[in-house]
Amino acid sequence: MKLFGHPDSGHALKVKFFLDWLGIDYNYEFVDIFSKRETRSQEFLKASKFAEVPALIDEGHCYTQSNAILFYLADKFDVFTNAKQRQACLQWLVWEANKIGLCLPQIRAHKKLSPQYPDFTLSQGAYEWLWNRYQHDVGVLDNELNNKSFILGDQVSPADFALSAYLLYTDEIAIDVPENVSLWLGRMPALPGWQSPYDMLKGHIG
């Protein structure tokens, strides 16, 4: 099994952290996502339909879209205990891709990356729209986490890896999170396999 990722990609962080939590053996390769797409390795371009990280190769098949990869891995490694839990997890994976996963990566790229990569600069209108969206979505998440250790209850699930990924970078861009979200985020580094996002995904070719 081989995963392609980059330290600035929360989408890659979801999958890398989940694989490390599972504790299985796999290879990891850093992809320079700021390089021109056509200059990336042939192996990566073959694995990743849109030349994006994360991409996973397993038993000769290529998998993309972070939350779809999480769902694939959860099935492969028998993470779900019953169909109801599997369905509840899928609902949160879809929610994340359309909510937090829509606004927070763009806000982070604007704040953290745009000084070096001007293409990530948002117009004021776009920034405000995404910011309002983030405030709403993180509020929904906060309500859902009330009196719960993890999004599905007492046990961590793939949905927690998806939902937390970009929120685990919020410190560095001075974005506040509400209380339940903050307490839940504090539980993620206590899980097996944790390293800071930059350590977890740092440059390693091969």
Interface contacts to ligand GSH, rule CB under 6 A: 9, 11, 33, 37, 51-54, 65-67
Q: How far is the CB of 106 from ligand GSH (least distance, A)?
A: 10
Q: How far is the CB of 11 from ligand GSH (least distance, A)?
A: 4
Residue 186, SS3 per DSSP: helix
> Which class for 38: exposed (0-12), middle (13-18), buried (19 or more C-beta within 10 A)?
exposed
Cβ proximity to ligand GSH, 21 vs 44, nearer residue: 44
Cβ proximity to ligand GSH, 79 vs 100, nearer residue: 100
Return phi, psi of residue 153, to 5°: 135, -130
Cβ proximity to ligand GSH, 15 vs 141, nearer residue: 15
Cβ proximity to ligand GSH, 102 vs 183, nearer residue: 102
Q: How far is the CB of 134 from ligand GSH (least distance, A)?
A: 16
Q: How far is the CB of 63 from ligand GSH (least distance, A)?
A: 10
Query: Read out DSSP for 20-38?
Result: HHHT---EEEE--TTS-GG
Query: Read out DSSP for 142-178?
Result: HHHTTT-SBTTBSS--HHHHHHHTGGGGGGGGT----
Residue 182: both structure tokens together: 């903050």
